[in-house]
Amino acid sequence: MFKSGFIAIAGRPNVGKSTLLNAILGEKIAITSNKPQTTRNRITGILNADDGQFIFLDTPGIHLAKTPLNRYMVKAATSTFSEVDLILFLIEADRGHDSGDTLIIESLREAGVPVFLVINKIDLVAKPKLLPLIDRFRGLYDFREIVPVSAARGDGVDRLLELIREALPEGPKFFPDDMFTDNSERFIAAEIVREKILLLTQREIPYATAVTVDSFKEDEEKNLIRIAATITVEKDSQKGILIGKGGRMLKEIGTQARLEMEKFFAAKIFLELFVRVRKDWTKDAKWLKEFGYSDK
């Protein structure tokens, strides 16, 4: 019996959703960092097996959103619930329950599909501490399964996949066997640059940046891809920090992004980065739409 379906990965910011997606696929297609709200758009990951095809949707962290950008991210997550066959609700073993989880559970009640509670980061707590956490969440929602995992170490991921297969319906193959994401190459290149900004900069800089790929040109004979990308920030001071003294910060971002792209695309990469200022773009509907952070 061939099974297939769409599975949303949901939870608060920074609980390890993208790390779990990468662990499931055995490929890094979603950027990760220790900063909240790393994921801004829905990321698709496709797992192909002999007896099934499982399409995972990694969603932005759900939180009380105050800015237009954050409201877009929350909507991108919760709107996914009505489009899937199964939801993985991810929580952290070492943080327990808070009001953010209550907000998500309210959205889950409206979805009308099976929900797995996936308890991540179990390597950070002693097993006896998991039992009270499980009991607390059992009282909040009727979960189809409760599955402890460590996404960073891969513990419990195989068991999670077995349970997902059992829960999904018989269905067709939605994507070709050699496809593991439907996100465009331009999107992935932009996300890799943004990941390096998240990892290398501090304070407001990671949250005030957007990355757009202006050109993506492949030279198959030379196995070379030429990419030009623009990093947009909100203030002149942020531009100065991002470029760095003598251009050092921008050069380091570019170097790390290029090396990551070369692994992902299996090609030599020539990467050019530019920085520009668009005042308060995170609050401007026009620029949010320009950068793909609007559903209007």
β-bridge partners, 11: 90
The string of pLDDT tens digits covering residues 125-175 is 988 889 999 999 999 999 999 999 999 999 999 999 999 999 999 999 999
CA 203, CA 198: separation in Å to the nearest integer? Answer: 10
Where does the chain hold its CATH 3.40.50.300 domain(s)? Answer: 3-167
Burial label, 148 (beta-carbon count in 10 A; 0-12, 13-18, 19+) = buried
3-167 CATH, one of 3.20.20.140, 1.10.10.10, 3.30.56.10, 3.40.50.300: 3.40.50.300
Element (DSSP H or E) covering residue 277: strand 268-277
The string of pLDDT tens digits covering residues 94-132 is 887 777 898 899 999 989 899 999 999 999 998 888 999
Q: What is the mean pLDDT of residues 240-255?
A: 97
In this structure, CATH architecture of domain 185-290: 2-Layer Sandwich (3.30)
Where does the chain hold its CATH 3.30.300.20 domain(s)? Answer: 185-290
- Overall residue count recorded for the chain in this entry: 296
In angstroms, what CA-CA distances link 229 with 50, 189, 216, 233? 38, 9, 9, 13
Residue type present at position 234: E
The string of pLDDT tens digits covering residues 192-206 is 999 999 999 998 999
Element (DSSP H or E) covering residue 32: none
Question: Rounded to 5 degrees, what angle do the CA atoms 146, 150, 152 make?
Answer: 145
CA 40, CA 61: separation in Å to the nearest integer? Answer: 8
